[in-house]
Amino acid sequence: MVLIDGKATAAAIKQEIAARVAEIVGAGGKRPHLAAVLVGHDGGSETYVKNKVLACEACGFESTLIRYEDDVTEEELLACVARLNADDAVDGFIVQLPLPRHISEQRVIEAIDYRKDVDGFHPVNVGRMAIGLPCYISATPLGILELLRRYKVETSGKRCVVLGRSNIVGKPMASLMMQKQYGDATVTVLHSRSRDLKEECRRADILIAAIGRPGFVTAAMVKPGAVVIDVGTTRVPDATRKSGYRLSGDVDFDAVKDIAAAITPVPGGVGPMTICMLMLNTLAAGEKKFYS
Ligand code: GUN
């Protein structure tokens, strides 16, 4: 079994990005600048945003963190998005999700200038991704493609099962795995209403689990020799940890590792790659790679 090491791969890519930034700055160019907007104090979001800011430092980017309390109005948040859209010093920005219930996430996402939407959540970027045009691609699926590429996992013509149909992971992942220029695979998407879920999973050469249910994928659902990608990062209570919790993937790692040809661990698999791909999108924003 090959352990697909997302942490080491992400570290290598961040070094590559930092080298490119040094080149840009050496030639008199500007450091890429990412802004992140964080609303409230959700523990998961705080950790993600902190890690995004640290990744910016590692890549030689400028970063700005803008914080609001939970009771920020949608109007105030939309005004912040408008300011960031207009700020030439900021190449790209994200609004960390989820947002409080009184704010429409969709309205906020659609207010972001798609040319600065380094999360790749704006409908323009989602649409361009779906038809194979240059654009910002959502970081988690992009990170998974990059892991498959760097670990030389053959995807063309293979059966790929995507478990989950979220806008952030499942849908873009399925779309990318299907497209000739990315995965070129035969893709099945499974979700909470799917029939014969176990049998469908067992047909997969590449199984990508993104449903947010700890340990959902058991050994009986994995074909011997399959490549298993675990996107789950659910916090489960664990009194033995200082933090009081541990991260649990969607895959029963201990049981599946002896069956799979390759597998991503949690933590240290897809998670670090996601942040790293946000950095790659920010580098592209700084270089005006997709949009001028
Ligand atoms: N919440 C969970 N994942 C993400 C992400 O990739 N981007 C943003 N903005 N919020 C998230």
What residue spans in the chain does CATH classification 3.40.50.10860 cover?
29-131
What residue spans in the chain does CATH classification 3.40.50.720 cover?
139-272
Residue of 14, 52, 116, 171 marked catalytic: 52
Alpha-carbon distances, residue 104 vs 93, 109, 137, 165, 286 (angstroms): 18, 9, 22, 20, 28
pLDDT tens-digit map of 92-130: 999 999 999 999 999 999 999 999 999 999 999 999 999
Residue of 96, 116, 230, 252 marked catalytic: 96
Pocket test for ligand 1, best of 38, 81, 116, 119 (most atoms within 8 A of CB): 119
Cis preceding linkage at 267, omega within 30: yes
- Average pLDDT (225-254) is 97
Please tell me the distance from the alpha carbon of residue 45 to that of residue 275, in angstroms, as a whole number. Answer: 13
Residue 157 confidence (pLDDT): 98
Task: Please report which confidence band the pLDDT of residue 283 belongs to, taking 50, 70 and 90 as the band edges.
Answer: very high
Ligand 1: residue whose CA is nearest its atom 2: 97
Are 222 and 228 a contacting pair, CB within 8 Å? yes
How many whole angstroms from 127 Cα to the centroid of ligand 1? 19
- Which class does domain 139-272 fall in? alpha beta
Task: Please report which confidence band the pLDDT of residue 273 belongs to, taking 50, 70 and 90 as the band edges.
Answer: very high
pLDDT tens-digit map of 3-45: 999 999 999 999 999 999 999 999 999 999 999 999 999 999 9
Cis preceding linkage at 32, omega within 30: no
Check if 96 has its Cβ closer than 6 Å to any atom of ligand 1. yes
How many whole angstroms from 45 Cα to the centroid of ligand 1? 8
Question: Is 52 one of the catalytic residues?
Answer: yes
Pocket test for ligand 1, best of 38, 48, 108, 231 (most atoms within 8 A of CB): 48
Check if 94 has its Cβ closer than 6 Å to any atom of ligand 1. yes
Residue 258 confidence (pLDDT): 97
> For residue 288, which of 56, 58, 118 has the smallest C-alpha distance?
118
Pocket test for ligand 1, best of 81, 168, 273 (most atoms within 8 A of CB): 168
Question: Is 158 one of the catalytic residues?
Answer: no
Check if 9 has its Cβ closer than 6 Å to any atom of ligand 1. no
How many whole angstroms from 96 Cα to the centroid of ligand 1? 5
- Average pLDDT (197-218) is 98
Task: Please report which confidence band the pLDDT of residue 280 belongs to, taking 50, 70 and 90 as the band edges.
Answer: very high
Residue 134 confidence (pLDDT): 98
Ligand 1: residue whose CA is nearest its atom 11: 97
Task: Please report which confidence band the pLDDT of residue 153 belongs to, taking 50, 70 and 90 as the band edges.
Answer: very high
Mean pLDDT (the chain, rounded): 98
Residue of 5, 119, 205, 250 marked catalytic: 119
Q: Tell me the three state secondary structure of residue 115.
A: helix
Are 234 and 248 a contacting pair, CB within 8 Å? yes
Residue 163 confidence (pLDDT): 98
Residue 128 confidence (pLDDT): 98
Q: Tell me the torsion sign for CA atoms 138, 183, 4, 19.
A: negative
pLDDT tens-digit map of 245-266: 999 999 999 999 999 999 999 9
Q: Tell me the torsion sign for CA atoms 49, 290, 128, 114.
A: positive
Question: Is 119 one of the catalytic residues?
Answer: yes
Residue 159's contacts (CB-CB under 8 Å, 6 or more residues apart) are 185, 186, 188, 203, 204, 205, 206
- Which class does domain 29-131 fall in? alpha beta
Check if 119 has its Cβ closer than 6 Å to any atom of ligand 1. yes
Task: Please report which confidence band the pLDDT of residue 241 belongs to, taking 50, 70 and 90 as the band edges.
Answer: very high
How many whole angstroms from 26 Cα to the centroid of ligand 1? 32
Task: Please report which confidence band the pLDDT of residue 274 belongs to, taking 50, 70 and 90 as the band edges.
Answer: very high
Residue 74 confidence (pLDDT): 98
> For residue 3, which of 275, 280, 285, 258 has the smallest C-alpha distance?
258
- Average pLDDT (194-217) is 98
Q: Tell me the three state secondary structure of residue 54.
A: helix
Residue 50 confidence (pLDDT): 97
Residue 179's contacts (CB-CB under 8 Å, 6 or more residues apart) are 132
Q: What are phi and psi of 88, to 5 degrees?
A: -65, -20
Atom in ligand 1 nearest the alpha carbon of residue 45:
1
DSSP string, 214-240: TT-B-GGGS-TT-EEEE---EEEE-TT
Please tell me the distance from the alpha carbon of residue 58 to that of residue 17, in angstroms, as a whole number. Answer: 9
Are 7 and 150 a contacting pair, CB within 8 Å? no
